[in-house]
Amino acid sequence: MKKQLMRLKWIVPAVAFFGLMPVGCTSSSQATDSGAIATAKLETCQIAVEGMTCATCPIQVRTVMSRVDGVRDVDVSLKNKSATVDYDPTRTTPEKIAAAATDIGFPSTPKAN
């Protein structure tokens, strides 16, 4: 029991000093940021993606599209040669998202809804 208390005696100050949070906890700035994203009105668009030929192609497309500011979620289908993207329309457009994939060699165009 004493050993456990001795460990806690050092862990608590270390957590406070380094600003570490236990797994599953968020700081107030993180909670504010995620709350702003969660309350933003998201839209979904379909984007046709050409040139995908192997299993790593959708990974590359998903990675580059998810880096576009305002993109929340990306699901890329090799079979359908398309991507379904959830995004914040105040921060980006389907054209900008498609351009990101086009820039890395996968010609892409937004599909009409």
> What is the rounded distance in angstroms from the CA atom of residue 46 to the CA atom of residue 111?
5
pTM, two decimals, is 0.65
What six digits make up the tokens of 50? 């050409």
CATH number at residue 68: 3.30.70.100
Domain that holds residue 16: 1-39
**DSSP for 13-41, written as a single string:** HHHHHHT---TT---HHHHHHHHHHHHS-
* Shared domain check, 52 and 30: no
* Shared domain check, 54 and 33: no
- The sign of the dihedral angle between the CA atoms of 17, 29, 25, 63 is negative
pLDDT in single tens digits along all 113 residues of the chain: 555 545 445 554 544 444 544 443 333 334 444 445 555 799 999 999 999 999 999 999 999 999 999 999 999 999 999 999 999 999 999 999 999 999 999 999 999 86
**Residue with token string 């890329």:** 76
* Shared domain check, 97 and 51: yes
The residue ranges of DSSP E strands in 27-111, in sequence order, are 43-49, 71-77, 82-87, 108-110
